[in-house]
Chain A
């Protein structure tokens, strides 16, 4: 299952003391269902901001976002939460797992939030953990896992509900090169296997080049990636 993304004229600015910083200045984005898109750009260019807007975690100052036909910016907090739960799987840079839950419980969590029966969530979570080679680490807590293992758990968690859209913010940014490649390989395999639309923000041009399409965020706007020199 996959969805299309249509974002037009996205503006977002932040206040930094007295100063207003314009992060996005009319960014447009169009992603086909099932496409794997990488967004690169220097630090502070607004990559994470773009991801937060697309993920209904934040609202744009101007512009519109439609994901699978749903106008994301108009959702109230409860609708936005439901939308995130059903439509989007997030992977963050710092393998954001819940410290008080083991790997299996972390993966099951979106299912619990969606009201799935425990058995169903557990079966599906174990399948996913097996897919990423962590079946024997399911009862380990985050502090007992390596960075790469944590990110693989986070990937499983993002895919538990088979969301039509996967958003990843520097998913390999905090991993050693070997783990980074392994996690990215898995992400591509899972994205292809599940047919999910995916948008990945990354600093790593080598990994970004493996995505179907490469975009660059520069001056608050998105454009086709011009070359390795543009990435940070």
Chain B
């Protein structure tokens, strides 16, 4: 009975003490500083993580648009016929939307005396989905828009495509070269480190020799692709490597997660400092309420309930700061994302504005972590109140 009574008393007293913090100028200033610090920390965390997530989402979207969902790399000894059979078998699976035979290797594109190292990707059938925004996806040679624009190349013009694999001739090793007309262009990604050139599989196989075939599988759903990948094992010969979009970008995705975690830790320091301000604020409040703590003790408030009063007071202050900070952070993030107010000069980055992507999970982590740290600080300060002997507190 006393326990439940003392809990409600703790909350009642904590709420009154929260109101009374306005009376004393020093306490009022410290209280404002602590709550405002927590609010600032929460708002900064929400904004920083939303901005980072916005950039990362855009980057991932950009990367994933240029990455096959699943790539089956067949052993180099696998011939075209066998590769085509495997592709057919994969296409038969109900989850698979499309499967395409491709081959990849390094090479160069030359036109009018200019040369550029490129990645050659030979494809069968339609231009693969990893070459976005092509106006027409029929078989042919496709260049990235960036390269085409830089060199002033138009569809119909002929370029030379050379492979790094030489052919032995009576005059020594000679590069393998094909003269091919440009069929179309696709949108270059600003994240592409090397230009990619798509060309018909037959031409690419001729240029690259027995580099090995790959089957690129599309399901239309990234998560479904992750589930499907292990099931493909039974359809392929030994020595085949099956990689999903996640494995193909493992290093990058890890770096992005790491970047977000480090950003969280760095900005969370604001919350840590604000929590220290909260500890000093509560310590000052406890010192100013010393005699009242003694009276409450004399009336029968046990040490646990006394500690709860000041922990709850800290919790209420933290709650206030977190609520204000959360509202400001969320409001600003949504406003800045919607209005695209912060612009980036076009051409510098793969976006021309700073995106803000607020994830509920991130917000929940920020709020829980902030309240937890503030409560730990408050609990630490509140121990002083619980440790105060009523007789000591009452002594003038």
A residues whose Cβ falls under 8 Å from a Cβ of B:
52, 55, 57-58, 77-78, 81-86, 90, 92, 94, 96-101, 109-110, 112-116, 157
List of B residues within 8 angstroms of A98 by Cβ: 13, 16, 292, 295-296
A109 near B20: Cβ-Cβ < 8 Å: no
* Complex CA distance for A82 and B296, rounded to whole angstroms: 12
Complex partner residue of A96 from B5, B9, B19, B295, CB under 8 angstroms? B295
A115 near B304: Cβ-Cβ < 8 Å: no
Least distance between B232 CB and chain A CB atoms (Å): 65
A96 near B297: Cβ-Cβ < 8 Å: no
A109 near B389: Cβ-Cβ < 8 Å: no
* Complex CA distance for A98 and B391, rounded to whole angstroms: 17
For the complex with contacts A84-B298, A90-B298, 7 further pairs of A-B residues with Cβ separation under 8 Å are A57-B389, A78-B303, A83-B300, A96-B292, A100-B17, A110-B300, A113-B5
Known: A57-B390, A58-B391. A113 touches B300 (CB 8 A): yes
List of A residues within 8 angstroms of B342 by Cβ: none
List of B residues within 8 angstroms of A55 by Cβ: 298
List of A residues within 8 angstroms of B389 by Cβ: 57-58
Least distance between B120 CB and chain A CB atoms (Å): 78
List of A residues within 8 angstroms of B303 by Cβ: 77-78, 81
B302 near A78: Cβ-Cβ < 8 Å: yes
B2 near A115: Cβ-Cβ < 8 Å: yes
List of A residues within 8 angstroms of B301 by Cβ: 81, 85, 113
Known: A52-B391, A58-B391. A90 touches B299 (CB 8 A): yes
B336 within 8 A of A: no
List of A residues within 8 angstroms of B396 by Cβ: 94
Complex partner residue of A82 from B17, B298, B300, CB under 8 angstroms? B300
Across the two chains, which residue of chain A brings its CB closest to B5?
A115
Q: Most chain-A Cβ atoms within 10 A of its Cβ — which of B12, B292, B296, B302?
A: B302
B299 near A109: Cβ-Cβ < 8 Å: yes
A57 near B300: Cβ-Cβ < 8 Å: no
* Complex CA distance for A92 and B2, rounded to whole angstroms: 24
Across the two chains, which residue of chain B brings its CB closest to A118?
B8
Known: A57-B394, A96-B291. A115 touches B4 (CB 8 A): yes
List of A residues within 8 angstroms of B4 by Cβ: 115
Complex partner residue of B9 from A92, A100, A109, CB under 8 angstroms? A109
* Complex CA distance for A116 and B13, rounded to whole angstroms: 16
B150 within 8 A of A: no
B2 near A82: Cβ-Cβ < 8 Å: yes
Q: List 15 A-B contacts (CB under 8 A).
A: A52-B394, A58-B389, A82-B300, A96-B295, A98-B16, A98-B292, A98-B295, A100-B16, A101-B16, A113-B6, A113-B299, A113-B300, A115-B6, A116-B5, A157-B299
Least distance between B11 CB and chain A CB atoms (Å): 11
* Complex CA distance for A113 and B13, rounded to whole angstroms: 11
B1 within 8 A of A: yes
List of A residues within 8 angstroms of B391 by Cβ: 52, 57-58
Least distance between A118 CB and chain B CB atoms (Å): 9
* Complex CA distance for A75 and B292, rounded to whole angstroms: 23
In the complex, the 5 A-B pairs of residues with the closest C-beta atoms, listed nearest first: A85-B300, A115-B5, A81-B302, A100-B16, A115-B1
A113 near B297: Cβ-Cβ < 8 Å: no
Q: Most chain-A Cβ atoms within 10 A of its Cβ — which of B5, B303, B304?
A: B5
Scan B11-52; emit 1 where CB is below 8 A from any A CB, else 0.
Answer: 011001101100000000000000000000000000000000
Complex partner residue of A112 from B5, B17, B291, CB under 8 angstroms? B5
Across the two chains, which residue of chain A brings its CB closest to B386?
A77
List of B residues within 8 angstroms of A100 by Cβ: 13, 16-17, 19-20
* Complex CA distance for A55 and B12, rounded to whole angstroms: 25
A92 near B394: Cβ-Cβ < 8 Å: yes
B300 near A86: Cβ-Cβ < 8 Å: yes
Across the two chains, which residue of chain B brings its CB closest to A169?
B394
List of B residues within 8 angstroms of A90 by Cβ: 298-299
Least distance between B68 CB and chain A CB atoms (Å): 67
